[in-house]
Amino acid sequence: MLDPRLFRTDIELVKQQLARRAFDFDAAAYEALEGRRKEIQVRTQELQNERNTRSKSIGQAKAKGEDIQPLLDQVQHLGDELKAAEGELAEIQAQMTTILEGIPNFLDDAVPAGKSDEDNVEISRWGDAPEFAFEPKDHVELGEGLKGMDFELGAKIASARFVVLKGQLASLQRAIIQLMLDTHINEHGYDETYVPFMANADSLRGTGQLPKFEEDLFKVNNDPTFYLIPTAEVPVTNIVRDMIVDAKDMPLKFVSHTPCFRSEAGAYGSDVRGMIRQHQFEKVELVQIVKAEDSPKAHEELTHHAENILKKLKLPYRKVLLCSGDTGFSSSKTYDLEVWLPGQQKYREISSCSNFRDFQARRLQARWRNPETGKPELVHTLNGSGLAAGRTLIAVLENYQNEDGSVTVPEALRPYLGGKEVLK
């Protein structure tokens, strides 16, 4: 959530920033609501003061033995007015909160203008796309040929967009996840975290998925209501909800491996084939909680950590800076890492690394105490996939395939597979 004070003190800045996102913000309606809020708040305070003064007078009159009934009647009338004013004030504040919860984050100055992913800016490339002396297969053909990827069975057990991995492909995905965790913990200094795979509404509201993106979530209609997590970002970032972190503990760096559940509402063309866009998938998530002045550097660092996994696996990829029209609701700046997939002959996203600044922290009331001032300040939150395990599995299969349908195991994964060099 953006700082509500900006809407009172610098509405022009708000309009300019939201215009960068082509966000339709009715500034006049909001200002009218703010004007009414001020008016009702002043009236409420006046009524509270008057009631307190009258109540004091009643006490004094009672002590003198005077008839206090007329005074009681006046206080009752004031109480009714105050109750009505407080009710109206609460309703206006709720409306304003709803509006604020639906407004996206301000974009970093470095974010380029654009409408879609076609306007994203490539920052760098690493590695060369493999050249094959044969027509490369996609991961669906390779997985079925290795008798380890069964979409029909996934559909029978659950529905379309689920898969069952068996045998050596299940082991390969586990090895990929283990490599990621070991690298981020032992080389990058993250603390491994095991978290719930369901979250309550407060947690999802804190990280920005609710209320705007509820249709993208799987809802568990219990009492209370839970949601299956769309990413470990939700439970891990909520570790610091309603907390004041000690300065000596900053920065906080968490890594967590979880399943992720997404309804994937809408049509995605060719993405419905295979494992590119599933209702359930595995991911290793990186989360950092830092001081405001450290978040730009932390963003570069976190992205570099995700890139290291691709380099260890020797998978060609590119890094792109998302444009204004493609940057997520809560993010101020996002880098996407896109891995080369020979089966599609194009780069596909395998990680998004974002700096949210204090947007999530304000919703979460996540703060740290500045020892110089002794006052709490909002933290900055960042996260990124380090990496999406299913898409990494796809990239390994397609980039390391052989003409006979076998797949060479990347050297970095062999220790996790008992030294196995080829999947046949």
Residue pLDDT, tens place only, 109-155: 999 999 999 999 999 999 999 999 999 999 999 999 999 999 999 99
As a whole number, mean pLDDT of residues 303-317 equals 98
Collect all residues with Cβ–Cβ distance below 8 Å to 172 and sequence separation of at least 6. Answer: 393, 396, 409, 413, 417, 423
pTM of the entire predicted model: 0.93
| 39 carries a ligand binding annotation | no
What is the pLDDT at residue 55? 76
Can you say whether residue 330 is alpha, beta or left, with left for phi > 0 and alpha for psi between -120 and 50 degrees? alpha
- Name the residue with higher pLDDT: 159 or 51: 159
Mean pLDDT of 349-361: 98
Tokens representing residue 18 in the block: 């939201």
The average pLDDT across 278-307 equals: 98
pLDDT digits (tens, 9 = 90+) for 163-201: 999 999 999 999 999 999 999 999 999 999 999 999 999
User: Annotated binding residue at 352?
Assistant: yes
Q: Is 241 among the annotated ligand-binding positions?
A: no
**Would you say 232 is a known binding-site residue?**
yes
* Model confidence pLDDT, tens digit, residues 362-393: 999 999 999 999 999 999 999 999 999 999 99
pLDDT at residue 23 tops 90: yes
Write down the pLDDT at residue 266.
60
Yes or no: say if 271 and 279 are a contact pair by the CB < 8 Å rule.
Answer: no
Rounded to a whole number, what is the largest CA-CA distance in the chain?
107
For the chain, the helix, strand and coil percentages under 3-state DSSP, each to the nearest 5: 45, 20, 35
Q: Is 177 annotated as a binding residue?
A: no
- For residues 98-111, b (16+ Cβ closer than 10 Å) or e, as one string? eebeebbbbbbeeb
Q: Is 101 annotated as a binding residue?
A: no
What is the mean pLDDT of the segment spanning 340-365? 98
Query: Any binding-site annotation on 81?
Result: no
Catalytic residues: 262, 277, 349, 352, 391
pLDDT bracket for residue 71 (50, 70, 90): low
- Residue 287's nearest CA partner among 273, 301, 277, 308 is 301
Instruction: Tell me which DSSP letter residue 374 carries.
Output: -
